[in-house]
Amino acid sequence: MNRTLMSLLVLGALALPATAQQSEKSTFIKSSVLYVSEAYNNDQFVYNGGKTRGWGFELGYDYAMPDAFSFITPWIGYGRFVGNSRPELQAIQPAGVLAPRFDLTAWRTGVDFKWNTPVKNLRGWMGINLNFFDGNQLTAGRVYSSSQAGYDPSLLPKSINESRAKWGVRAGLDYQLTKDWSAHVQYDAAQWLSYNTSAKARLKGMNPMNPSWFAFSAGYHF
């Protein structure tokens, strides 16, 4: 948690308000590579079988405020992490049997507050959002209690689904490369599982689990 707060504070400190830098194009779409750091979120790292990367996209609109250097930006988006076979499950499978994999997906919407910085074409921002996460099983492989024991029906994997809206926060920096293109870096921290899933899914993730990730994006403005 300390590292999460430190990341948000550093991004905010790099983005103090300054002179006006108006953008002529307000609607944008961002395509992102998502990265989970094991040091920042080991729970999500374990759940996805050590998979660190995902992908996502966002569509938003920058509303210029009367002060001429800040913006309100509503947006909608989607993110997905496709997991690997989890090592602790693969280790007990017979030769040639693939352990189940799990992915984590989210439909998202939120509002960001952006402002210009002393660096030309650079904006800082922070925002809040709502996320609808789902954790799903990707493979239907059988699960064995050990590599020597037989197939155990009681160990059939189940999906972990909790599609209630959960809060999230994020902060980032945007750099306008041209009138049409921009580059972005951000850190997202959200809620997901708030209960122990052992009664709902035998192959559970860490509990509770609050997804967080870095995003590196390219944006197109139109």
State whether CATH 3.30.70.640 applies to domain 2-221.
Answer: no
pLDDT at 21: 47
Specify the pTM.
0.80
Structural domain boundaries in the chain: 2-221
Distance separating alpha carbons of residues 153 and 137, to the nearest angstrom: 16
| Residue 129, number of CB atoms within 10 A of its CB | 21
pLDDT at 211: 93
pLDDT mean for each 10 residues of the chain (222 residues): 53 45 77 95 88 96 91 97 83 75 91 96 97 78 57 56 83 96 97 64 61 97 95
pLDDT at 25: 83
